[in-house]
A = this chain, B = another copy of it.
Amino acid sequence: MPEVVFSVDQARSMREQATPGHNRWHPDIPAAATVRPGAEFRVECREWTDGQIGNNDSANDVRDVDLSPCHMLSGPIAVEGAEPGDLLVVDILDIGPVPQETGPRPGQGWGYTGIFAKQNGGGFLTDHYPDAYKAIWDFHGQQATSRHIPGVRFTGITHPGLFGTAPSPELLARWNAREQALIDTDPTRVPPLALPPLPEGVLAGNLAGDALAKVGAQGARTVPPRENGGNHDIKNFTRGARVFYPVHVAGGLLSGGDLHFSQGDGEITFCGAIEMGGFIDFHVDIIKGGMEKYGVKNNPIFMPGNVEPRYSEFVSFIGISVDHETDTNLYNDATVAYRNACLNAIEYLKTFGYSGEQAYLLLGAAPIEGRVSGVVDIPNACCSLYLPTEIFDFDIRPTADGPRRADRGRCAVSS
């Protein structure tokens, strides 16, 4: 086992750890640890809400979650010699839930998937599913099952939802400016278009007083992916993956968390992955001047892991950029196209007896693939969603006999 350079006691909140992590992106947050290029090390992580969600049959905790302290990240880890313009080479050697433990915190033998209420951030289908729902998943080695979505068992493509390097002050300022400009186009929208800096709930390692207040006032929220990496929610950042992060400040300052036992492409329910705390083992190295060498101006590059579960048979769904309820045509809108593919998949699964909410939760958590299929056939973008047939313990392929409808239980709902 590699050395633990950032440790977490899962019985305590991130604020109460010996070395707390942070929940904003800001260059002033001091390194919690320093490693050398070539080092292998372990980082322990809290679940992204820092323990607000319980292993029970009510979705009230998802409905009422306080987003101000989210995501709770571990780090930053400084890498000696990393300088702006370099690429930080990060290998994911291993990752998993909290080792050797069962208990009440996500990652201690279980995780959860939540549909957020429209009033509290919403999800990808929030206009169709505006209320809060939840499914608890039990871990069986690398496999997961849910009492809330029976008939399904799959191997997790375990990955961190969120890792990234610290922004430079200039980059941070650009983020804040462009995101505020977006918010200003519809400042009262529910859910909001973007999340501006928020002093409430800020955590920045051991910073306190004015230094902490500065991070609260300026620090970028952790929800979106940006030029530093961030909340990619790319399920293929799994064991064996290698990520090349742009370096914007001395030392790179790698931070992250939001570990997912499994997730479908798009993470469509907002916290649609199977959320958990746990650990991640890294190897790091540096490509000096790598950003210019490889033309990396904006986003990280990565090589996906090669131990993803193999599936060979899928039922696949298509969506196009049309609002079918109102017969309104959007222009080449892949977001709408993928949303329709998701809705089509949900309608299909309902014919087997699942509720819409169960199907929605399943598509967030299971290893579905979301593809950008056509983006030039105007006016209709076309996206597709690949659902592996093997994850079901009944046959979900279309046949002349019609679907095998059954009582498939219910997910956790809010009261």
Residues on A lying within 8 angstroms of B by beta carbon are: 1, 40, 87, 89, 91-95, 99-102, 109, 123-124, 140-143, 155, 174, 177-179, 181-182, 191-195, 223-226, 231-236, 239-240, 244, 265-270, 272, 281, 283, 285, 287-288, 290, 293-304, 306-320, 322, 324, 327-335, 337-341, 344, 347-348, 350-351, 369-384, 386, 390, 397-400, 402-403
Contact = CB atoms under 8 A, between A and B. Distances in A.
Give the number of copies in the complex. 4
Nearest to A333: B335
A139 to B, nearest CB: 9
Given A40-B140, A316-B301, A371 B374 contact: no
Given A269-B376, A377-B233, A331 B93 contact: no
A329 B194 contact: yes
B402 A304 contact: no
A335 B181 CA distance: 20
A374 B267 contact: yes
Contacts of A294: 348, 351, 398, 402-403
A374 B270 CA distance: 9
Nearest to A375: B266
Contacts of A400: 285, 287-288
Q: When A and B form their complex, which 3 residue pairs have the shortest distance between CB atoms, in order from nearest? A: A93-B141, A94-B141, A370-B372
Contacts of A91: 140
A314 B30 CA distance: 34
- Greatest chain B CB density within 10 A among A91, A101, A266, A329 is at A329
B314 A304 contact: yes
A177 to B, nearest CB: 7
Nearest to A313: B390
B329 A303 contact: no
Given A379-B179, A390-B312, A234 B143 contact: no
- Greatest chain B CB density within 10 A among A99, A155, A383 is at A383
Contacts of A92: 141
Nearest to A381: B335
B195 A374 contact: no
Contact of A371 (B272, B330, B372, B375): B372
Nearest to A317: B301
A185 to B, nearest CB: 8
A1 B101 CA distance: 6
A224 B319 CA distance: 12
Contact of A378 (B191, B268, B377): B191
